[in-house]
Structure 1
Amino acid sequence: MDDFDSRFLTRNGLAARQLAVLLLNHEPDTRLPRVRDFAEELGCGNGTVQAALQLLEESGAITTTARGHLGTFLVRSDRAVLWRLSGLGTLLAAMPLPYSRRYEGLATGLRGAFEQAGAPFAVTFMRGAGARTAALLEGKVDLVVLSRFAADQLIADHPVELVADLGPATYVGAHGMLVRHGVDLETPGLRVAVDHTSEDLRMLVERVFAGRRDIEWREVSYM
């Protein structure tokens, strides 16, 4: 560890790391909060914030400029350096099992987007929207990929939020139901497969057979 890096272990350096997290939310050419506002949020003094800002400038993470009564503006930020100094580590995303080219493409696109944003990114594959959401709530992953259909239901039931809507058909092209040849859906006593780890499958199948008490449900992995 060189002399400069060791400065980030001091009180001012620790404040700089906390400040780096906050600055990740600011775009270039925007006005920064006042020093005393940063100080209040970080729970430290104005002088500590000023020293922390100077450390971040010296590290090449940011460039700021004072514009008189307009305040201090963020001229430039290097998100990769800010992320490294923040100590946030690698973001872990949980995605569905990559059983189609569409899922594989989505995983590749997400990795590229995060790398371009300067954030280390890794993917773990996990079957079932409910299981992925449980992993998020337990702090095992930082974000999850869900269909919007499943997300709307899970957001209503759990303390999670939607951070990005990637638009229609980025997750799946369409939903469908497979029926054995020659079987009529109105046939009494139908045996219907359902995978309760998949919010999409569960909700769609239950919607198709809503009100039917004669259905014999069979727990089967959708894979």
Structure 2
Amino acid sequence: MPELFNKEGLATCSVARELCSIPLGERIPTVSELERSCGASRGNIQKALVNLKEGGAVALEAHGQNGTLLTGIDYLALAAACGVDHITGAMPLPYTLRYEGLATALFTLLNTGDIRAYITFQRGSEARVQTLLDGSTDYCVMSRLALDDYLGRGYPLVEALDCGPLSYVGRHVLLTRDPKRSDWSGARVGVDRSSVDQSTLTARYFADKDVELVDVQYTHIVDMLKTGALDAGIWNEDDLHVRAASVATSRLEGMAAQDGNTHAIVVVRKDDALMGRLIRRLATCEQVRSIQRKVMENELPARY
């Protein structure tokens, strides 16, 4: 492969990224089309295609007037052609064994060959999405509920991998100071607006109740309940802090099933087809769940 930062190398990287979005067996863009989309000369586009074929990144089959078909593709080789030697992801804070297992799975599976994996931890999906969109990270993890919310607001995100039910959380529960309370009029309820999951579930549960929403960090909900600063809050039952606290927990009665909220989704930028394909090449739902389960059952130490 050519040096990445000369014109031929840049063209090779651009063509590699374009080919990532082409399904196997489909026609690839013509050289003229690639000239326009990649902003490179015809000669460098032709060299780029030769480089990718000779490097084993793609297999192409010419069909005359019907164009050239993509008959084979190696996403690791394409990543190498683009100078991708590491993958950085953003995850929620690893305060539960479930999150530790998920982090261990992604760290283990995405560390392969010449690629190294790194994980940053950030509170709230808003922060994780922002680091993804500004290019600081290559993927972020959120729930299906959160992804649907962002897509509904037009964010340029796309699902790379669904890790399956119960891979993100077990369930969210209502935490209260008084387990017998049924009238929520005037109750002070904690809401963390940086977390789509927590804020959405809170809004849904208390939609028809006259409560005072108090802005909090979700990590402070239990302590604020114990001191009397809050009367109620919704949070993740997996949190050991919740289980150890002297606060009452109850199911979120009257709400739709939380299944979408329990799925961990690995999300990439919509314009980064290479990263999405690479993640799916390196990790499957079954592999992620297997490693996560072993960490949760103390069969494997957490490593991330």
| TM-score, normalised via structure 2 length | 0.60
1:200 aligned residue:
197
1:81 aligned residue:
77
Mapped to 1, the partners of 2:207 and 2:29 lie a distance apart of 53
2:61 alignment partner, one of 65, 72, 75: 65
Deviations for 1:154-192, whole angstroms, at most 9, x for unmatched residues? 333353323246244332222211223544031544333
The yes-or-no answer on 1:178 pairing with 2:175 is yes
Query: Which of the pair has more CA radius of gyration?
Result: 1
The yes-or-no answer on 1:37 pairing with 2:33 is yes
Mapped to 2, the partners of 1:188 and 1:32 lie a distance apart of 62
Return 5+ residue gaps in structure 2 as ranges: 221-304
1:54 aligned residue:
50
The percentage of counterpart residues that share the same residue type is 34
Preserved contact between residue 191 and residue 213 of structure 2 (Cα < 8 Å): no
SS in 2 for 1:31: coil
Distance 1:51 1:154, change over 3 A: closer
Shift of 1:83: 0.7
1:150 alignment partner, one of 138, 146, 159: 146
Mapped to 2, the partners of 1:155 and 1:84 lie a distance apart of 30
1:126 aligned residue:
122
Distance 1:155 1:222, change over 3 A: farther
Distance 1:30 1:120, change over 3 A: farther
| TM-score, normalised via structure 1 length | 0.78
Figure out how many residues of one structure are paired with residues of the other and give that number: 219
SS in 1 for 2:45: helix
Return 5+ residue gaps in structure 1 as ranges: none
Distance 1:67 1:105, change over 3 A: farther
CA RMSD of aligned residues (A): 3.1
Preserved contact between residue 8 and residue 47 of structure 2 (Cα < 8 Å): yes
The answer to which structure has the higher strand fraction is 2
The yes-or-no answer on 1:12 pairing with 2:17 is no
Letter in 1 for 2:41: G
Shift of 1:58: 2.8
